[in-house]
Structure 1
Amino acid sequence: MADSPVQKALVLLKCLADYGEPIGVKRLAEDTGLNISTVHRLLRLLAEERMVSFDPQTRLYGIGTDCIRFAISVLGGDSLAARVRPVIAELAHTLQETCAYSVYEPDTFTKAIAAVERGPHQLGYNFDVGRRDGIHAGASGKAILAFLPDDDIETMFKTVTLEVTAENTIVDPDTLRRDIAEIRARGYATSLGERVPGAGFGIGAPVYGPDGRIVGSVVVTVPLFRWKKKNLGWMSKAVMDCGRVLSGIAAAEVGAEAEAGA
């Protein structure tokens, strides 16, 4: 039985990892043997540090962005990180531009960059692993936003102050709703100067978990001086194909964890 607060927090994180999907406080208390008040207190602390995520709609907790980021930094072998990187690297090689994978943080309507592969050019867009941004701007963010349930989208509009970070950042809810409808219709998001002024043209696609919920996105960003509109068709297809591959990896990872814990 865990005695110290640190041990108890680690027990909670291990339990969340074993489930592979968000679960409630009562189940966590039952499975760890900790009392509910202790579980509540530790989860709040872990959520503040982004080691766990909290969905206010379902009241469920899951593994947080920073916990995933740490895993990506240190794990090898058959880890999810080890499987994601080659897929992103292949996309970057195909498109000859920098590509990135981001994970979705539902309790704050943000996403964090978890893996980056640069293209071959000396001049290209640079992503910082661990960087966290709102999902209302940029191709990687909107690729997540557009495929969330409508109730979640409306909750974001009501509870989050949408930050303007560049000349083309969209913060008007009605304009974003129209953008979302177009993204859903074509299957991918695009952006031009929405996140960083004059940065480039972005194409993003969603990544789904085994339960069909959005877990992240994949994006390519092309500097404006290299961007050609005629490339949108084949490049967007490559990004969407990569999103489907990553969705399959995410589903297989959770399935393997569940089988190992059986």
Structure 2
Amino acid sequence: MERNPRTIQSLARAFAILDCFDSVHPRLSITEISEIVKLNVNTTRGLVNTLVHFQYLSRDEEDNDYHLGLAFIPKANLVEEQFLFHIKNKIQPMLRKWANAYGLSARLNMIDDGQLMTVFTEVPDNSRYMIMTRSRTPFPLHATASGKVYLASLPDSVVETYIKDTRLVQYTDLTITAPEQLLGEIDRIRERGYALEIGEINEGIGSIAFPIFDKRKECIGTISLSGANEQIYEEEKAAAETLSSYIDSLQPLG
């Protein structure tokens, strides 16, 4: 049986205080913190003052309560950068494997300020045709598999605002431009877990896309496979099973 490692009591108490703050309790008074961590007020005040000194907590002088401090911002950004770096490095070698397994172009696309950008692309070794996407070129969300699967990850209110404020350009006869039709497609994607696009942005070319989520269950990117429409239909089931299982294995890393 593994023994619990020795811990330093004052540090353990400080971490317990930080753990009091969450989306339900973003601001707390000394008394409230004291009650949650089950320490007397004087001990709690000393620990809180230390956390304020090092900017892990911040005090609102007017309301006389506390919230998480600025020290967390650069550290949170660093954690996110490391997670994205790890995801990119883990997925990149798999793209070639999938490209050759299904005879389709495989891509890792990441979200940047609400837009999807291609980061890596791999094409099948023995393919006569290559379907390439310009790096850092934004996807039209309503007309691509990656864009639609990203929309499906967003709250209904955000999707409705996007549809209201965006001109849904018709790229081909199959492009979805009717708001009601797009909302129905998003519902199907949520139920299925991945998105299909068949000739909606380029005639004869389709794609299948899978969302990548972080620990907050927010979509941070997609993995997509692209090729001729008939190839997408042929490989949909096998690709969905393989890639969905693989992406699920990434989630604990968030």
Tell whether the structures are fold-level matches, with TM greater than 0.5: yes
Post-superposition shift, 1:156?
Answer: 0.6
Alignment check: 8 A CA contact 2:170 2:176 kept: yes
Q: Find the partner of 2:183 among 169, 177, 199.
A: 177
Identical positions, percent: 21
Post-superposition shift, 1:84?
Answer: 2.6
Post-superposition shift, 1:230?
Answer: 4.3
Alignment check: 8 A CA contact 1:192 1:201 kept: yes
Post-superposition shift, 1:165?
Answer: 2.2
Alignment check: 8 A CA contact 2:208 2:232 kept: no
- Which residue does 1:168 correspond to in 2? 174
Matched ranges for 1:184-203 at <5 A: 184-198=190-204, 200-203=205-208
Post-superposition shift, 1:104?
Answer: 1.9
- Which residue does 2:161 correspond to in 1? 155
- Which residue does 1:227 correspond to in 2? 231
**Deviations 1:6-42 (CA, angstroms, capped at 9, x unpaired):** xxxxxxxxxxxxxxxxxxxxxxxxx8xxxxxxxxxxx
Post-superposition shift, 1:136?
Answer: 1.1
**Deviations 1:127-154 (CA, angstroms, capped at 9, x unpaired):** 2221212211111111111121112111
Is the alpha carbon distance of 1:152 and 1:223 closer, same or farther for their aligned partners in structure 2, counting shifts above 3 Å?
same
Is the alpha carbon distance of 1:188 and 1:168 closer, same or farther for their aligned partners in structure 2, counting shifts above 3 Å?
same
Decide which moves more: 206-215 or 98-107.
98-107
Alignment check: 8 A CA contact 1:204 1:239 kept: no
Alignment check: 8 A CA contact 2:206 2:232 kept: no
Larger radius of gyration: 2
- Which residue does 2:93 correspond to in 1? 86
SS of alignment partner, residue 227 of structure 1: helix
* Structure 1: gaps of 5 or more residues: 1-30, 32-61, 72-77, 252-262
Alignment check: 8 A CA contact 2:105 2:124 kept: yes
Amino acid paired to 1:187: G
Is the alpha carbon distance of 1:150 and 1:194 closer, same or farther for their aligned partners in structure 2, counting shifts above 3 Å?
same
Whole-angstrom CA distance in 2 between matches of 1:164 and 1:148: 22
Alignment check: 8 A CA contact 1:87 1:246 kept: no
Alignment check: 8 A CA contact 1:217 1:243 kept: no
Post-superposition shift, 1:163?
Answer: 2.0
- Which residue does 1:243 correspond to in 2? 247
Verify: 1:116 aligned to 2:121, yes or no.
yes
Post-superposition shift, 1:170?
Answer: 0.8
**Deviations 1:182-238 (CA, angstroms, capped at 9, x unpaired):** 11111111111112232x2211111111211111111101224x5273432112222
Post-superposition shift, 1:168?
Answer: 1.5
For CA contacts below 8 A with separation 6 or more, give which structure has more relative contact order: 1
Q: Find the partner of 2:111 among 104, 117, 120.
A: 104
Q: TM-score, normalised by structure 1?
A: 0.59
Whole-angstrom CA distance in 2 between matches of 1:221 and 1:144: 17
Q: Find the partner of 2:217 among 204, 212, 215.
A: 212
